[in-house]
Structure 1
Amino acid sequence: MATVFFASYLIGLRDGLEAALVVAILLTVLARSSRRDGRTPLWWGVGLAVLVAGILGAVLTYVATSLLGGVRLELFEAVTSLVAVAMVTWMIFWMRRSARSLKAELTGRLTAALGMGPTAIALLAFVAVIREGVEMVLLVFSAAQAAAQTIAPLLGMIAGVLSAVLLGWLMNRAVARVNLGRLFTWTGVLLILVAAGIAKYAVHGFQAAGALPGAGNLAYDISHTVEPASWYATLLAATVNLTPSATVLEIFTWIGYSAVVLLAFFRPARPARPARPAAPPEQEQQAARAEAGA
């Protein structure tokens, strides 16, 4: 239970840190703009995002435990895992692109929202936080299903979020000195490996439901030498879903996703093309006459 708790704690801490960082930036902008009246709608937006994420987690858990069973449950968990992988992959590259300009982008949006009223401020905070909340809920839900646990992932996620809130309060005092590029790089790599494990679990669910072939075609099986209930086996299963036994398609999915996404993640950004200098007026006229003569 402790290892599953720790795995969910890492997920809650990672996504909670990103949400806390966004909130810290918004609070800093409000303070520097002498608009402390914007704090109340901002916190309303944050609270609503947390509430919606909590409702989503409760709905997923209720559907999985009360309404579905057997093949339908396997398919439901596999589909939600694929949704989590798709959303996490998009978020990874969005954060990579926005790392350097995130503070300026949020500052610009909040400045515009201040002129539109409290509702706009609350909506901006809601949108900024709900992305991390939904991602975190999907990740923890998939990890909980893969680890066959119930309460430990929830407790770990809550502890991780509380730790992120504390760190976010500290970052609120030093947000200008936070190296967002380095922060998002290391957390991005961790999240890529977590997403690879969830993609592997999705394949496992589809194979168990009979939607994909190869359920009995094992790539390896070391469960007779590695105790599945040991702390290290549970930790690997709960974080990156490396289990003592796996099918060929599961391993191919894990390695393929990790390799492709990591290569794309660390690929150098293309330098912007320099603007073409404008031609002098005389050259433009000569070019126009030449085109007209042609």
Structure 2
Amino acid sequence: MFVPFLIMLREGLEAALIVSLIASYLKRTQRTQWFGAMWAGVFIAAGLCLALGIFINQTTGEFPQKQQELFEGIVAVIAVLILTYMVFWMRKVARNVKAELEDAVDQALQKGANSGWPLVLMVFLAVAREGLESVFFLLAAFTQDVGYAPPIGAMLGLATAVVLGALLYVGGVRLNLAKFFKWTSLFILFVAAGLAAGAIRAFHEAGLWNSFQAVAFDLSNVLSTQTVFGTLLEGILGYQEAPTVSEVAVYLIYLIPALLLFLMPARPAASATKDAREASSARR
């Protein structure tokens, strides 16, 4: 429940932040007549992502066992790639996202003249990216943790993000977003490592991977997944009390380079981004 809550809180807050920045810019530049186009893009993106998630979930439930395991492995790999991209994309653009969004809004409205469709498309693409990331992560999470807890956690996370986004827009709350995204990103890398290990386990059960299946270590007498803490670790980080050599190897092969890259000092912002920010400031 906690991981879907955190992921949807983060993804929802990213989307809410994007919408809040666009709405604030439209209000500040006295173009509130385009609020309808902005919300159209938001709702179309949300509806399509929800429909895609329901469609994939419904059509894969009837797969035979091996095909189901293969599907779960593929979804886990996609989720790992998306989560990794999400972490490093936010790390790269966090300082300049406001200027880039404002520049994108100006370009969309200039292209559209009296039509709001370019703005609808621009907002749709921005929100749909967050939505698609959420869809594939939740599909991976739901296959590893059945029951009502994961969907409830996801809905609570999304609801919290919507409330925080609204409060950010009206100025009723101040969040240190840099620290929020930094620490949640660090946590997400551990979640992604657990998903990567789960993917290799699913591929083995699907009959595609049969190498290095010896048990690497057995902690069942120390920290069993039957205990409360062990169950929490299993649900949050993909912990296994007796993982195979291939699972441990994939976990470390992903996590160690990802952590090293994440902890390295961020590169200075690109000159193009700086120019976009200065141009946007000049227009104001």
**TM-score, length of structure 2 as denominator length:** 0.87
Pick one of 117, 129, 133 that aligns with 1:119.
Answer: 117
**Aligned residues of 1:42 and 1:121 also touching (Cα < 8 A):** yes
**Aligned residues of 1:196 and 1:258 also touching (Cα < 8 A):** yes
Cα deviations by residue, 1:243-281 (Å, 9 ceiling, x for unpaired) = 22211111111122111111111212345899xxxxxxx
Q: Quick one: percent identity of the two aligned structures?
A: 35
Structure 2: distance between partners of 1:256 and 1:112: 42
Cα deviations by residue, 1:21-56 (Å, 9 ceiling, x for unpaired) = 111111111110111111111111111111121112
Structure 2: distance between partners of 1:31 and 1:141: 37
Structure 2: distance between partners of 1:180 and 1:104: 16
**Aligned residues of 1:214 and 1:247 also touching (Cα < 8 A):** no
Read off the aligned partner of 1:197 and give its amino acid letter. Answer: G
Secondary structure of 2:170's counterpart equals coil
**Aligned residues of 1:219 and 1:248 also touching (Cα < 8 A):** yes
Instruction: Please state if 1:30 is matched with 2:56.
Output: no
**Aligned residues of 1:24 and 1:168 also touching (Cα < 8 A):** yes
Instruction: Please state if 1:144 is matched with 2:145.
Output: no
Structure 2: distance between partners of 1:140 and 1:46: 20
After TM superposition, give the deviation of residue 181 of structure 1 in Å: 3.4
Instruction: Please state if 1:212 is matched with 2:215.
Output: no
Structure 1: distance between partners of 2:240 and 2:151: 21
1:250 corresponds to which residue?
247
Read off the aligned partner of 1:219 and give its amino acid letter. Answer: A
**Aligned residues of 2:46 and 2:128 also touching (Cα < 8 A):** yes
**TM-score, length of structure 1 as denominator length:** 0.84
Cα deviations by residue, 1:184-218 (Å, 9 ceiling, x for unpaired) = 22221122111111111111111111211247411
Instruction: Please state if 1:163 is matched with 2:163.
Output: no
1:90 corresponds to which residue?
85
Instruction: Please state if 1:45 is matched with 2:38.
Output: no
Structure 2: distance between partners of 1:40 and 1:244: 52
Structure 1: distance between partners of 2:173 and 2:103: 16
1:176-255 paired onto structure 2 within 5 Å: 179-214=176-211, 216-255=213-252
**Aligned residues of 2:213 and 2:246 also touching (Cα < 8 A):** no
Read off the aligned partner of 1:135 and give its amino acid letter. Answer: E
After TM superposition, give the deviation of residue 179 of structure 1 in Å: 4.5
1:279 corresponds to which residue?
none
After TM superposition, give the deviation of residue 229 of structure 1 in Å: 4.1
Pick one of 165, 168, 173 that aligns with 2:170.
Answer: 173
- Cα gap change, 1:235 to 1:7, in 2 (>3 Å): farther
Read off the aligned partner of 1:170 and give its amino acid letter. Answer: L
After TM superposition, give the deviation of residue 131 of structure 1 in Å: 1.2
**Aligned residues of 1:100 and 1:180 also touching (Cα < 8 A):** no
Which structure has the bigger radius of gyration? 1
1:289 corresponds to which residue?
none
After TM superposition, give the deviation of residue 225 of structure 1 in Å: 4.8
Stretches of structure 1 that go unaligned for 5 or more consecutive residues are 275-294
Structure 1: distance between partners of 2:221 and 2:164: 42
Cα deviations by residue, 1:151-179 (Å, 9 ceiling, x for unpaired) = 32122111110010001111113499655
- Cα gap change, 1:265 to 1:71, in 2 (>3 Å): same
Structure 2: distance between partners of 1:184 and 1:82: 22
Count of matched residue pairs: 268
Stretches of structure 2 that go unaligned for 5 or more consecutive residues are 272-284
Structure 1: distance between partners of 2:7 and 2:239: 16
- Cα gap change, 1:231 to 1:123, in 2 (>3 Å): farther
Read off the aligned partner of 1:48 and give its amino acid letter. Answer: I
Structure 2: distance between partners of 1:273 and 1:102: 12
**Aligned residues of 2:204 and 2:210 also touching (Cα < 8 A):** yes
**Aligned residues of 1:146 and 1:237 also touching (Cα < 8 A):** no
